[in-house]
Amino acid sequence: MEHTKHLFRAGLLMVALALGLVFGRHFTLPDTFGDEGYYRAASRLEFMALPLVHGGTESCKECHEKEHAAHAGDRHASVPCEVCHAPVADHVKDGKKIEGKENEMPANPSQRLCSLCHLKLAARPKTFSQIVPHDHLLELDAIEAGQPVPDRSCLLCHPPHSPNQGN
């Protein structure tokens, strides 16, 4: 038995470590953690208190019925307005247009934005419209080899609110 002291010490150390982890977890977990799942339940209230930034397509429809109707039947019907345009909070507050910004609705017309969905990737379905922007523009003789892809190049042929027209 004289050669088992190290085993006793190792066992004691493991028990102390386990107790430290159990008690440490108790003191470090937030009060509402685990009440409604594997997260802090109070975080929902914190997120609900944040200001609304994105309103979704329906919030745009109230004032932009014509654009909404034109957009409803095209290939981009499932893409919310705020993907290309600024968030609704930049344009409307408390149901009214922000004074001085009545005619302002910034959009991101870059080919980089279009490429987020339309850049050719092996993982995308073959039926989805995909291109390699540089190769596509070379085929159309829109640019020369070695020339960079112009930022607004997609919009020259493909109007975003009616993309079917450009095909």
Q: Name the residue ranges covered by the structural domains of the chain.
A: 37-107, 109-167
What mean pLDDT is predicted for residues 69-73? 81
Spatial contact of 153 and 141, defined as CB atoms under 8 Å apart? no
Specify the residue for token string 């870059």. Answer: 110
Which pLDDT does position 166 carry in this prediction? 57
CA distance linking residue 86 with residue 105, whole number of Å? 7
Query: Among candidates 124, 144, 127, which has minimal Cα distance to 135?
Result: 144
CB atoms within 10 A of CB 82: 19
CA distance linking residue 137 with residue 132, whole number of Å? 9
pLDDT single digits (tens) 10-60: 999 999 999 999 988 888 888 898 888 888 889 989 999 998 888 888 888
pLDDT single digits (tens) 97-150: 877 766 677 788 888 999 999 999 999 999 988 999 999 999 998 888 889 998
**Per residue in 20-29, is it b (16+ CB within 10 Å) or e — as a string?**
eeeeeeeeee
Global model pTM greater than 0.95: no
Which pLDDT does position 12 carry in this prediction? 94
- Residue 151: pLDDT band (50, 70, 90) is confident
Of 82-86, 121-125, 131-135, 159-163, the range with the lowest mean pLDDT is 159-163
